[in-house]
Structure 1
Amino acid sequence: MIEIKEKHALLMRWTHWVNFPVLAIMIWSGLLIYWANDAYGVSILGITLIKFFPEWFYNYFHIPQRLAEGMAFHFLFMWFFFINGLIYLLYTVFSGAWRELLPNKNSFKEAWLVLLHDLHLRKTVPPQKKYNAAQSIAYSAIILMGIGSALTGLAIYKPVQLYWLCWLCGGYHFARIIHFALTIGYVLFFIIHIVQVALAGWNNFRAVVAGFEVIEKKPLPEKEQPIHHKPENDEASRP
């Protein structure tokens, strides 16, 4: 027996799929900006140990210094990113969906059980509602990351006009570091998210596209099926 179960609302799915290409363009254009001034790496006592993009990387891929193009795309699509994120945030608040999304006091403990189960180190399936504990933490964190990206991005974009925001972010250079670190966080989230979707299977992917999932229920054993009494024969019951 097959049961159709509604899972994700239309607005949630719309903002999810809009956010994917918009954020991809934001990361790509942000890299164009960063490559124009490749300033970050890991250094100890003035000695650079690791560069995020070493010189051979630029030479091999023939990366041009496209600062103006990167800034044009970045500052255009940041408004799509901001508006789309704001719509999703307002939806979760007014629809009450935040109750299913927000982690609780047991979420971190249960998230550890989810990790062990995904690594096939634990056979027992962890507690699962609409979102499991790991998903609740990850999806709540990505909302906070989006807010952080918007604030630090504005601080970098208008450090003089929004000097107070730049100050709250720890200054221009620190705001830029946070912005860059959040971008790395998005990339890691994408990789983990895609792997999790692949492991969850087609039914989970269909739920995010169509809004419903198909649940196959096993029929009850014959002895547990309800007994249907046959109606009495009127002629046989007559005196």
Structure 2
Amino acid sequence: MPKKIIFKHLLAIRWMHWINFPVLTIMIWSGMLIYWANDVYEVKIGNKQLLMFFPNGFYKFFNIPHRLAEGMAYHFVFMWLFFINGLLYVLYTIFSGEWRYLLPNRHSFKESIQVVLYDFHLSKVKPPQAKYNAAQRIAYSMIIVMGFGSILTGLAIYKPVQLSWVTAVCGGYAAARVEHFVLTVGYVLFFFIHIVQVILAGWNNFRAMVAGFEIVEK
């Protein structure tokens, strides 16, 4: 059966995507090294502890303890790469017109349910698929908002006195730290879901993010 090449992702989008993947991974890892210094988050009922987010065995397995200075050094260097790459991505999508394919529309939330049902084989009705499906539009837009939130809360934690107004916007130092932590958990969940979706979508979809094109049957 004859096949045709369909160009899908521009070079700049592919570069920024692949730059962001290792940068964000290092940011999460170095953030864990920093978090160890004050590992305070837990799930409790009254005075009874039900769950620590990261038990001691986790830190020992990954050799995390006693690496605070290293974590801060990596975090503050790669923070700028994360910020610059994210800013360039947002500016590029605006000026290139790519934002039209990324932003959710009034049908996206309804269609995203169809995407989830179809992916879990709970429905045989294939959801509408343009360059990005509805679930992707929502997820990719949310990750941009999360990135902005991480920069804001990160600055509030890093310079709470010099940038006191940023800290105030975040609800105070303690609130900013919680928000920063929750956003990091969100990135990890996004990574997991994103990788599963890539596997389910198959090689053709992965190739599009590497080479920029898909090969489909006519």
Task: Give the TM-score taking structure 1 as reference length.
Answer: 0.88
Q: What CA distance in whole angstroms lies between the structure 1 residues aligned with 2:15 and 2:144?
A: 16
Shift of 1:161: 0.3
* Root mean square deviation, CA, Å: 1.1
Identify if the C-alpha distance between structure 1 residues 96 and 22 changes in structure 2 by more than 3 Å, giving closer, same or farther.
same
Q: Is structure 2 residue 193 aligned with structure 1 residue 195?
A: no
Structure 1 runs, 4 residues or longer, greater than 3 Å off: 56-63
Question: Which residue in 1 is equivalent to 2:42?
Answer: 41
Question: Which residue in 2 is equivalent to 1:24?
Answer: 25
Q: What CA distance in whole angstroms lies between the structure 1 residues aligned with 2:42 and 2:108?
A: 34
Q: How does 1:37-186 map to 2 (within 5 A)?
A: 37-186=38-187
Question: Which residue in 1 is equivalent to 2:6?
Answer: 5
Task: Point out where structure 2 has 5 or more consecutive residues left out of the alignment.
Answer: none
Q: What CA distance in whole angstroms lies between the structure 1 residues aligned with 2:43 and 2:152?
A: 25
Q: What CA distance in whole angstroms lies between the structure 1 residues aligned with 2:59 and 2:21?
A: 26
Q: Work out the number of aligned pairs and report it.
A: 217
Q: What CA distance in whole angstroms lies between the structure 2 residues aligned with 1:25 and 1:59?
A: 19
Shift of 1:59: 4.5
Shift of 1:60: 5.0
Shift of 1:37: 1.2
2:146 counterpart SS class: helix
Task: Among all aligned residue pairs of Structure 1 and Structure 2, give the percentage whose two residues are the same amino acid.
Answer: 69
1:213 counterpart SS class: strand
Q: Greater shift after overlay, 129-138 or 62-71?
A: 62-71
Q: What CA distance in whole angstroms lies between the structure 2 residues aligned with 1:88 and 1:60?
A: 36
Identify if the C-alpha distance between structure 1 residues 33 and 120 changes in structure 2 by more than 3 Å, giving closer, same or farther.
same
Q: What CA distance in whole angstroms lies between the structure 1 residues aligned with 2:31 and 2:69?
A: 11
Task: Point out where structure 1 has 5 or more consecutive residues left out of the alignment.
Answer: 218-239
Counterpart AA for 2:70 = E
Q: What CA distance in whole angstroms lies between the structure 2 residues aligned with 1:64 and 1:158?
A: 24
Q: What CA distance in whole angstroms lies between the structure 2 residues aligned with 1:103 and 1:60?
A: 41
Q: What CA distance in whole angstroms lies between the structure 2 residues aligned with 1:103 and 1:137?
A: 6
Counterpart AA for 1:110 = E
Q: What CA distance in whole angstroms lies between the structure 1 residues aligned with 2:77 and 2:71?
A: 10
Task: Give the TM-score taking structure 2 as reference length.
Answer: 0.97
Q: What CA distance in whole angstroms lies between the structure 1 residues aligned with 2:63 and 2:108?
A: 46
1:36 counterpart SS class: helix
Q: What CA distance in whole angstroms lies between the structure 2 residues aligned with 1:154 and 1:136?
A: 28
Q: What CA distance in whole angstroms lies between the structure 2 residues aligned with 1:62 and 1:203?
A: 38
Counterpart AA for 2:143 = I
Q: What CA distance in whole angstroms lies between the structure 1 residues aligned with 2:130 and 2:60?
A: 49
